[in-house]
Amino acid sequence: MIFASFEFLFLFLPLFFAVYFLTPFRWRNWPILILSWAFYAWWRVDFLGLLVGVTLFTFIIALRMDAADDRARTRLMVVGLVGNLGVLAYFKYANFGVASFNQAMAALGFGTVNWAEIVLPIGLSFYVLQSVSYLIDVYRRDVPVSRSFVNYAAYKAIFSQLIAGPIVRYAEIEQELKSRHHSLAQFGAGARRFMAGFAMKVIIADTLAPLVDASFALPNPTVADAWLGAIAYTFQLFFDFAGYSAMAIGLALMIGFHFPENFNWPYLSRSIQEFWQRWHMTLSRFLRDYLYISLGGNRGGAVRTYINLLLTMVIGGFWHGANWTFILWGVWHGGLLALHRGWSRAGYALHGAIALPLTLLAVILGWVVFRAHDMTQAITMYRGMFGANGVPLSDALAWQIVPEQWWIKAAAALLCALPGFGSWLPWQRDPGAIRGVWRLAWQVGPSVAFLLAIIMLYSRAAVPFLYFQF
């Protein structure tokens, strides 16, 4: 069950709200926990046991760590991190490790290991990262340990962010787990946010998906084929993931939780550093606070700083998936961050008119290897982008393009660029004259877009969110 499905909209969500708001406030974390577990079990009941097990293990370790002396605290934290990361390593990376080992053994002429493919539990990466952040924060005494299993388990399991984030730290909603505000106005604001995210996903991302799939599947893409697919994927990924984040934030707001924002117009960034301050911001903060700083950050000199940047992004890339493509994507962004830091420290800077398109180009080139199934497909796309197979749009792709994809692509580009117009926009020059119109647009626009998205969803099958695979 996904947010962009009729089962969720017309079965699960009404049931959840009915049970939640009919439950006395002091017990409202119970319906969050039980129905969120039911939401997760809808996919696979057996993996619900893994989620519950990770939750219980982390809860107990944190309780014991809080009561222990310094030496025991350190040992317990290590046990907690090894336990959580061990689960992630087994389910997410065992297949990759065995496959890589078998390839190496076959190349050397030796026998290979028989191995049954392991199914990756949905959302595992996200709820393991939450466990890691909670354990480290309790160890550092940045947050008080939770003594209520229901409260902690509800934090882990809130269905709106369970599968694909944003990565919510315990400290960010600790007080709201105990006491939170509900109002009709807040519920309405959350509903509008959810509807806007739903429209981003169904109207834009899902419409571009067939074009992206067709382009990346071509054996010999031309320049037009490859760039069309790469740019379409750039928009698809943003509106898919930012749409999910908006829905998650909106759903949480409807029941009184304030989740952190996850996107801030990332395609308007003027440097790769700024891009990572605007894209998947909760992951960026996690990598900075728990990995980059732990590696030493910028405290060990210039060379060590560059190494730390590179390692952080490589690990961040590998977190996205067990594939060499993600490692290369991490190397690409880590190298760009190191280059940007060295360029800035030398006193150089690019004008915004150059910096913005150059940053966007670097991001698009990185998205190609991020989207590719393997290195062969990535190389095929890069060869096409740089003219190895001719320039014009090929017949193999042209017949698969429907008119609505062009309109949606233009609309996506406009929406991504809109804040960049700044003072050129009339409401920026005279906010008082048009404030009422934009207030009305915010109130009515999401509802209209939501209804249009419902109609489009009815005419085609639901498309899973891209980040479910990570």
Contact 132, 87 (CB under 8 A): no
Q: Give the closest residue to 283 by CA, choosing from 50, 125, 466.
A: 125
- Catalytic residue, chosen from 182, 280, 320, 351, is 320
Contact 382, 368 (CB under 8 A): yes
Other Cβ atoms less than 10 A from the Cβ of 37: the count is 20
Q: Which residues contact 100 (CB under 8 A, 6 or more apart)?
A: none
Tracing tokens 């299993």 back to the chain, one arrives at 149
As given in the structure block, the two tokens for residue 219 are 């054996």
Q: Half-sphere exposure (CA, 13 Å, Cβ side) for 254?
A: 24
* 145 backbone φψ class: left, alpha, beta (φ>0; ψ -120 to 50): beta
> Residue 24, exposed/middle/buried by CB under 10 A (0-12, 13-18, 19+)?
exposed
C-alpha dihedral sign at 468, 160, 15, 40? positive
Q: C-alpha distances in angstroms, 420 versus 56, 352, 362?
A: 46, 11, 19
Alpha carbons 125 and 93: distance in angstroms, whole number: 11
Q: What is the DSSP letter of 392?
A: S
Query: 376-406 in b/e burial notation, b at 16+ Cβ within 10 A?
Result: ebbebbbebbeeebeeeebebbeeebeeebe
Other Cβ atoms less than 10 A from the Cβ of 302: the count is 12
Q: Where are the beta strands (DSSP E) in 29-140?
A: none
Longest dimension (CA), the chain: 76
Cα–chain-centroid distance for residue 104? 32
Kind and range of the H or E run holding 137: helix 124-139
Give the per-residue SS3 of 231-268: HHHHHHHHHHHHHHHHHHHHHHHHCCCCCCCCCCCHHH
Helical ranges in 373-417 per DSSP H: 375-385, 395-398, 403-417
**320 noted as active-site residue:** yes
Alpha carbons 103 and 111: distance in angstroms, whole number: 10
Residues labelled as active-site residues = 320
